[in-house]
Chains A and B, each alone.
Chain A
């Protein structure tokens, strides 16, 4: 019961994090749709981003810079709905695929 509630809360948390970062992601136009970049984020209990580092680059410096900037600008990150979900380290995975609009 608690586990199910936690799993649901976790989904909500991930969505709010994704939304918050996406709002600050100024995506570069005309990049290849298969680019992926992973940024490791260190955050404080209050959601302040203290570090953001590309741990798996896309090979496109402009794309990588844009996603790193997105995470830094998204600070402070939203708090989890359940404090148990807090994690000081987040991996944010950016996909370039939805760039056609």
Chain B
């Protein structure tokens, strides 16, 4: 009996073990994970090698581009265990515990013909593998724009979205009274490489890029009355497209680049008009006795949003170009103005004021949910980067104003530049079109 009992317990033990091993063989433990942490992706950008003066600066530009987007956090150089400039010099184990998840290294060299070459590599430090490697050749004068392009490549590789650091911005700089009191400028997306494309003693306002990025429409008071011009960015060639009596203001391009919508008063009420640039034909879009202005096309071209005080205070309205129906979009706040669509058409960036301060916010069109991205007190003129990841705006600084950027999630805000007395009316260019 005793023996029997022993046998049984043995049998059970054996069965149990069998069950256990069967369990292990057939169904691995399944762990479900639905929550993660959100935050910036830590990246180490090692100063590029090579004896050329631009080498360390290139890595610096790449690093600050990535950090400004809010999607990346630059790991400080004091955390670097080594400063490799070539793949052979990377020791993955030494980067463990340094906080970086990816690593960028590179080398800048000058070829005998004077051209520069940059070789850069991107490594995944967690999986210990190379993710990308490029060798690029370019003329020395383009080293800055090359750094932005490298940042774009890295951004796309690591986020899956197109980078916009290589795009340009336009803005108006206000200086001392004189021939260059007002300057319409174009610069790299970080504010460097500024070029003045128009100087004037009189105000220049509301620059707007054409969808192909080759032309800018703006309002100039050079003849003392406002007129709308379209200027080719690279040749400087320009054309006056509207100087009707009264207001000629707030031009915006249709997505096909063939027409401008603008506010004209023609001596009486300020309404929205569409001007066909080819034929010169003018079509009135709004007729309300209130002021309708600051139009912006939806990316699909089917509607536009604009600011109107038809309800008593400035608010954002949407006009359907299909049936002419007008719908009010903002209901909170005494002041909502200067709305711009996000590139995907799902959000509006706008200025909301409560009488004390004016802040930049993004409103989700689906449900009207508003998120503030800036603190005021006097923020103006939001403009989306063409990938929708950042917003540029101007804000009061000292006696004048400066440009600032903020990431779409509002986490990373940065002053971009302050030059002269004031920098205002920023407009972010579209992506360059494929040749």
**CB closest residue in chain B, given A90:** B29
Q: Which range holds the interface residue count of chain A?
A: 35 or more
Contacting pair A69 B34 (CB below 8 A): no
> Chain B 124-136 against A: per-residue CB contact (8 Å), 1 yes, 0 no?
1011000000000
Contacting pair A72 B126 (CB below 8 A): yes
Q: Is B141 on the interface with A (CB-CB < 8 A)? A: no
Q: Is B24 on the interface with A (CB-CB < 8 A)? A: yes
- State in angstroms the CA–CA spacing of A95 and B41 once bound together: 19
Q: In the complex, which residues of chain A have a beta carbon less than 8 angstroms from the beta carbon of B93?
A: none
Contacting pair A18 B33 (CB below 8 A): yes
Taking a contact as CB atoms closer than 8 A, the residue among A40, A67, A85 that contacts B28 in the complex is A40
Q: B residues within 8 Å of A by Cβ?
A: 20, 24, 28-39, 41, 71, 101, 124, 126-127, 158-161, 409
A sample of 19 inter-chain contacts (CB < 8 A) reads A14-B29, A14-B30, A18-B32, A22-B33, A22-B35, A25-B36, A26-B41, A28-B160, A62-B159, A68-B126, A68-B127, A70-B33, A84-B20, A90-B28, A90-B29, A90-B31, A91-B31, A92-B31, A95-B32
- State in angstroms the CA–CA spacing of A21 and B124 once bound together: 18
| Given A27-B38, A29-B409; A87-B28 close (CB under 8 Å) | yes
- State in angstroms the CA–CA spacing of A4 and B159 once bound together: 45
Contacting pair B160 A26 (CB below 8 A): no
- State in angstroms the CA–CA spacing of A44 and B200 once bound together: 72
- State in angstroms the CA–CA spacing of A85 and B28 once bound together: 11
Contacting pair A70 B36 (CB below 8 A): yes
Contacting pair B124 A69 (CB below 8 A): yes
Q: A residues within 8 Å of B by Cβ?
A: 10, 13-14, 17-18, 21-23, 25-30, 40, 60-62, 65-70, 72-73, 84-85, 87-95, 97-99, 101
Contacting pair A25 B37 (CB below 8 A): yes
**CB closest residue in chain A, given B41:** A26
Contacting pair A73 B126 (CB below 8 A): yes
Interface contacts (Cβ under 8 Å), in number, total: 93
Question: How near does chain B come to A47, taking the closest CB pair, in angstroms?
Answer: 13
Residue in B33, B37, B38, B127 with the greatest tally of chain A CB atoms within 10 Å: B33
Contacting pair B33 A95 (CB below 8 A): yes
Residue in A26, A60, A67, A68 with the greatest tally of chain B CB atoms within 10 Å: A26
- State in angstroms the CA–CA spacing of A40 and B24 once bound together: 14
- State in angstroms the CA–CA spacing of A89 and B24 once bound together: 8
Q: In the complex, which residues of chain B have a beta carbon less than 8 angstroms from the beta carbon of A72?
A: 126-127
| Given A69-B101, A69-B126, A69-B127; A87-B29 close (CB under 8 Å) | yes
Apart from A29-B38, A70-B33, A92-B31, 20 more pairs, CB < 8 Å: A14-B31, A22-B33, A22-B34, A23-B37, A25-B35, A26-B38, A27-B36, A28-B159, A28-B160, A62-B159, A67-B33, A69-B126, A73-B126, A88-B24, A89-B29, A91-B29, A92-B33, A94-B33, A94-B34, A99-B38
- State in angstroms the CA–CA spacing of A22 and B34 once bound together: 7
Residue in B35, B159, B160 with the greatest tally of chain A CB atoms within 10 Å: B35
- State in angstroms the CA–CA spacing of A88 and B28 once bound together: 8
- State in angstroms the CA–CA spacing of A26 and B127 once bound together: 14
Contacting pair B37 A26 (CB below 8 A): yes
Closest CB pairs A-B (n = 7): A25-B36, A27-B36, A62-B160, A89-B28, A69-B126, A17-B31, A95-B34
Taking a contact as CB atoms closer than 8 A, the residue among A61, A85, A87, A95 that contacts B160 in the complex is A61
Contacting pair A93 B30 (CB below 8 A): yes
| Given A28-B159, A62-B159; A21-B41 close (CB under 8 Å) | no
Q: In the complex, which residues of chain B have a beta carbon less than 8 angstroms from the beta carbon of A99?
A: 38
Q: In the complex, which residues of chain A have a beta carbon less than 8 angstroms from the beta carbon of B32?
A: 14, 18, 93, 95
Q: In the complex, which residues of chain B have a beta carbon less than 8 angstroms from the beta carbon of A95?
A: 32-34
Taking a contact as CB atoms closer than 8 A, the residue among B30, B36, B41 that contacts A22 in the complex is B36
Question: How near does chain A come to B79, taking the closest CB pair, in angstroms?
Answer: 16
Q: In the complex, which residues of chain B have a beta carbon less than 8 angstroms from the beta carbon of A29?
A: 38, 71, 409
